[in-house]
A and B are shown apart, each in its own frame.
Chain A
Amino acid sequence: MQTKKEYTITVYTENQVGLLNRIAIIFSRRKINIESLNTSPTEVDSVHRFTIVINEFEDVVRKLCRQIEKQVEVLKAYYNTEEEIVWQELALYKVPTDVIATEVKVERLLRQNGAHTVVIRKDYTVFAVAGHREETEALIKVLEPYGLIEFVRSARVAIIKGSSGFHERLKEFEHMEPGEEAIENEFLDKNEEIFTM
């Protein structure tokens, strides 16, 4: 029996108004919740990158990726499990400055959790932590007793461990007749090799 798992979907796209919606509705149409979504430039000038995190069966994720790739402005979609990627999320914490100033323990806890200071004001201080979800979540627990005022976490950004970037790949796409690189996702019966690069 298959189980739902966390998958990170990486989508390389053209930069076009409306594409975010086109991609988002592929999920909402199937009533699938997006856990996190990030858009970002890539190492290639005109190419954009979506990083989307969902919890689903692999079967479903594979079909979703194909539907995403079907969109005219999408160059490529990959999906990966957590083991296949390096990923980070950034969290910000706003804490009353007087507490930190007086409670020695807080300072130690912040250091233990790898937080660094972004802003110090008389009334509050903002800390940042980059890391995995458990790490950023752990610090909430830590800071709550000391009057955590505000917390926010970014979407996930992820790099696929096996990826060699998109420069070479893009050249393939720019050809009228793409080579095997550009069509590798169509090796549909070799699923493991397809999306993990």
Chain B
Amino acid sequence: MSDRNDHNSLGNPFDHRQSLTHGRHCDCHDCRQDAAAHLASDGAKRDAAQPANSEEMMDRVVESALVRGMFGHSDMHRRQFMKLVGGGTAAAALASLFPMDAIKAAVKEDLGPLEKTQLNVGFVPITCATPIIMAHPMGFYERYGLDVSVIKTAGWAVARDKSLNREYDAAHMLTPMPLAMSLGAGSSPEPFIMPAVENINGQAIVLHNDHQDKRDPQQWQGFTFGVPFEYSMHNFLLRYYVAEHGLDPDQDIQIRVIPPPEMVANLRAGNIDGFLSPDPFNQRAVYERIGFIHLLTKEIWDGHPCCAFATSAQFARENPNTYGALLRAIIDATQYSSNPENRSEIAEAIAPTNYLNQPVTVIEQVLTGTFADGLGEVQRVPDRIDFDPFPWHSMAVWILTQMKRWGYIDDHVDYQQVARDVYLASDAREVMRELGYDAPEENSRNYQIMGKTFDYTQPEAYIESFDIRRS
């Protein structure tokens, strides 16, 4: 690493010339140019400021976290300050304020030696996976000593199969998937765990431009809709939404499984009338002037979970320290993504071919919530998508009630037990607290979904309360 290449999340936080916002394999415009410059100058000279081994790296991470924290994660302010007072002075001042050595030792002790540092993490190229993806270019995995390859996957069926056969150590999944996989619905049963949710909200119902006059769902008789996967919030939310408007999702409309990247092409070809799908494809349909955003899913259930970070129970059992480090990286990245100020920067980091492969403006409209709706209006909905890692047990219970309602499972289900086994709320809480974020005290709460209360203690009664159902 030559001294020219100063973009590094492990850079010296006391050096005003170094940016801390970009990871070593960062793919953004600046870093690419920098990497090119780095290759051109045959400067193989090792920068003394780079940490040489994992011990030093850990020290650097702690220093970096403190310094970043002091400057409210604003890299510009940090660099201005360091330039002004000099890095040495700042380091000395900081050391007198914080017991730096004690903190460094505590963090190291906590983690223990990593069983495995090279990991494969799969993702489907959608904005829901933002924390999993951006943790790579922005150096969150690196910060916890992990060398992660984030691998793009064509759809969830393949993501599931690659997770089941251990090609992926962990993967981006839809929140219902680990539940379905653990129950053996749609695949062979295999205990999977979901220690963190990725995003809440962030989906939308998009209709073809031809249907601009059909904004009332009761006019949707005979429509064909795309959803990304059977065991998805998209499927369950669409079913819930049309059923609340009196349509039977199995008889009055047709629901077809289409992998997210193929949604827009199918909408253009007229194969489907609309879809409830993940972004960026909702916004992309608007951008391509094919469809318009009928409804953001936050209107159906504000704060609904969507995608998740999941791994096999076996991986977590056999590699507890690696699992811990990975979970810390993910939760840290999720919290970072949740801050609206970071969204534009993230949009730029995840748009390149290696990640989402989409125009930056489309990703930015999704993440910032200032977007064109396809009907000629600019809408400002800052919580169009948000990121919150806490896996509420009550979310799992709701999903299970919908799986039962629509006949995906028909045996007796112990709702609370399955939720506890798969959604690891206590792991998430522990890590969130340790990283200094607020975590809720309880594991479950009730929800208001389109004005109807969901009581997580009464799942069977909740199912009975619907007129349109399969069970």
- Decide if A and B are genuine partners: no
